[in-house]
Amino acid sequence: MAHKSVDLFAGCGGLSLGFEHAGFTVIFANDINPVSANTYLENIQIDKKHFYVGDINDILKNYVKFEEYFKGIDLISGGPPCQGFSMANRQRIIDDPRNVLYKSFLEVLSKAKPKFFVMENVKGMRNKIDEIISDFENILEEEYNISHAVLNAKDFGIPQNRERLFVIGNRIGINSNYLFDCINKRKRSSFALEDAISDLPPLGVKKVKNNTSIENEVIGYFKVEHEYRIDDYYKFINGDKKIDHVYNHKNRYNNERDVEIFTLLPQGANSLHPSISEIMPYKTRNHIFKDKYFKLRYDDVCKTITSHMKFDCNMYIHPTQPRGLSAREAARVQTFPDDFVFFGAQNSWYMQIGNAVPVKLAEIIGGEIIKCL
């Protein structure tokens, strides 16, 4: 029996791919960013006509046009941008104009009435969890059993300290707390960053500024043949697939001072380390810029991969090479398989990766939902 899902705010497809691996068939997806949408369509098994590139509110305004995709749907998922959740903000989340997309997500759920829904968002939203549960209960006409939990990716084998809030609801009579119990039973020891990225080709310093089209053996390639080490981590993200190319593995330009900082910092050190005190450009404001630079540790999990990496990777310095992580290294930390290719400008690869749900975590959540279905 095919289990059908819809992914709203789909981005490049981390959540969809994980659900696909778990056994769902994605029959409709939506995102407003055409670059992310292109990456999604090049990697996820979905008809291009079933991906709407545009505002979710267009779907609501023209719901009759999209209604066929939502009939009898098993699961709707999404991570709507939601900014007004500060404890200091006394206005309800749903009434805050910054959160119109959050409200729109709930309105789609109320029209489609899926058997299950999953909302993923930043950990800070937990501060307003009572409001969030109330919003879901008030807007959804049918009775849903709703629960929530903050899940950390590192607890599920993923080499990344990434905490996110998940809200899950269903209308088929399952206790959603039980579902989270089942998810938490899937916990396992984490891989370290070295497991995730040490097999990729080394990259050298890129000395040419404002030219992302340059490719060579020093700074890397968009696509190049590569013989992977078939180890536990390779199997964790790729399964039994034989992949013979590495994609999106390129270095970006850094000035000489940054390269020197990257070289001098020991693993696990930040901007306050004495090794760079003489060349640190923000010495008078160290209390503000202590995390301006951070060198990752090979023997630990990675810090949270975020979309900020599209600007620079100074907080994600490679443990043994004087550079920031490549997009492929960030993708491996996010447990994207090695044949998942990111399209668009080089900086946009990081944005797409940072905004995604780790694929293996999505696969666990999707797998437990399918068991319930």
Q: Which residues are catalytic?
A: 82
CA 32, 37, 41 angle in degrees (round to 5)?
150
Question: Distance between CA 282 and CA 146 in Å, rounded?
Answer: 47
Best CA proximity match to 112, nearest among 41, 7, 260: 7
